[in-house]
């Protein structure tokens, strides 16, 4: 029996690529889609993919009238939390690809997932290279106390930092607080130029034309430094395989897990 999927944000940049990816599988079926701009239409017609014969709904609440095993959230931070909670209340596991949710929102989601006895996998970035960067960075943080994160994205990206940067900060914070020779509150001048303190990590966001998504984790020691950098291209295809894996594996645990490596064997 195939896994029934409801995809919120199915006509967006990343969501449409994922929908096309689902259409090529034998074990997943898209039973409902969410897109305000294409509500009332058939997704296959919108995306020119005849294998996608599900309806497009204006809201997650309407789409969840179609029973699904996994709800994929790929919309906007303003509605993501409510969408996820509705999906859990309906008994679906959830994969979150939307960026911009903070730790408080994730705490709420974790409690709701435990209550519903369902799994939620939140992934700031589904690309394998990002998963590896996060893994390598947490290893580096064990040995190097000084680190900072630089988050790069297009000038049109409305959330800062990105979900990728938030996730990386969270992971490094689980290892240790990043050290500061001069604490931010003792800076002479404009303290904001030193970036934001998140999960006791120093995070900077750059938003300029020409960037898609990039991230750097920079570690410093006397007379040496380590730079881990991920660069994304213009297409959404690198994120599809990771998202498909997340859909297939999110039912293997209960509660919230943050990061694709939780369903990968990276040890």
Per-residue pLDDT of 175-201, as tens digits, reads 999 999 999 899 999 999 999 999 999
CB atoms within 10 A of CB 245: 18
Query: In Å, how far from its chain's centre is CA 139?
Result: 21
Residue whose entry in the numeric block shows the structure tokens 């390598």:
136
Task: Give the containing element (helix H, strand E) for 108.
Answer: helix 103-116
Query: What domains lie within the chain, and their CATH numbers?
Result: 3-126+236-263 (3.40.50.720), 128-231 (3.30.360.10)
Q: What SS3 class is residue 84? A: helix
Reported confidence tier of residue 103, pLDDT bands at 50, 70, 90: confident
pLDDT recorded at residue 235: 78
* pTM, full prediction: 0.80
Going by C-beta distance under 8 Å and a sequence separation of 6 or more, which residues neighbour residue 155? 207, 208, 209, 211
Q: Higher model confidence: residue 238 or residue 186?
A: 186
Per DSSP, the chain holds a count of helices (H) and strands (E) of 8, 12
pLDDT recorded at residue 95: 98
Q: How far is CA 188 from CA 160, 178, 263, in A?
A: 25, 20, 45
Round to whole Å and give the CA distance between 191 and 236.
36
- The answer to whether 117 touches 196, Cβ cutoff 8 Å, is no
User: Both tokens of residue 237?
Assistant: 């295809």
Q: What SS3 class is residue 5? A: strand
According to DSSP, the β-strands at 201-207 and 255-258 are unpaired
Q: Average model confidence (pLDDT) for the chain?
A: 94
Query: What would the pLDDT profile of 108-132 be if each residue is shown by its tens digit?
Result: 999 999 999 999 999 978 888 998 9
Q: What percent of the chain has pLDDT over 70?
A: 99
DSSP code at position 90: T
Nearest to 9 by CA among 52, 54, 72, 69: 72
């Amino acid at each position: 029996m195939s896994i029934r999927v409801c995809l919120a944000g199915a006509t967006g940049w990343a969501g449409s690529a994922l929908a096309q990816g689902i259409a090529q599988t034998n074990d997943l079926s898209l039973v409902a889609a969410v897109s305000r701009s294409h509500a009332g239409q058939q997704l296959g017609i919108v995306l020119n993919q005849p294998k996608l014969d599900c309806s497009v709904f204006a809201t997650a609440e309407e789409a969840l009238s179609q029973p699904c095993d996994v709800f994929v959230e790929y919309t906007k931070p303003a509605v993501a939390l409510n969408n996820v909670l509705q999906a859990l209340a309906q008994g679906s596991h959830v994969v979150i690809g939307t960026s911009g949710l903070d730790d408080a929102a994730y705490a709420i989601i974790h409690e709701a997932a435990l209550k519903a006895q369902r799994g939620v996998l939140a992934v700031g970035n589904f690309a394998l290279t990002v998963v590896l960067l996060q893994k390598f960075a947490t290893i580096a943080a064990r040995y190097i106390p000084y680190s900072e994160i630089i988050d790069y994205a297009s000038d049109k990206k409305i959330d800062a930092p990105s979900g990728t940067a938030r996730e990386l900060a969270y992971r490094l914070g689980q290892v240790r607080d990043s050290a500061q020779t001069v604490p931010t509150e003792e800076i002479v001048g404009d303290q904001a130029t030193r970036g934001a303190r998140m999960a006791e990590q120093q995070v900077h966001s750059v938003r300029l034309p020409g960037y898609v998504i990039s991230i750097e984790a920079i570690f410093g020691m006397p007379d040496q430094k380590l730079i881990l950098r991920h660069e994304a291209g213009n297409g959404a295809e690198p994120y599809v395989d990771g998202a498909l894996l997340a859909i297939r594996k999110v039912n293997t645990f209960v509660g919230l897990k943050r990061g694709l490596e939780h369903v990968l064997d990276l040890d």
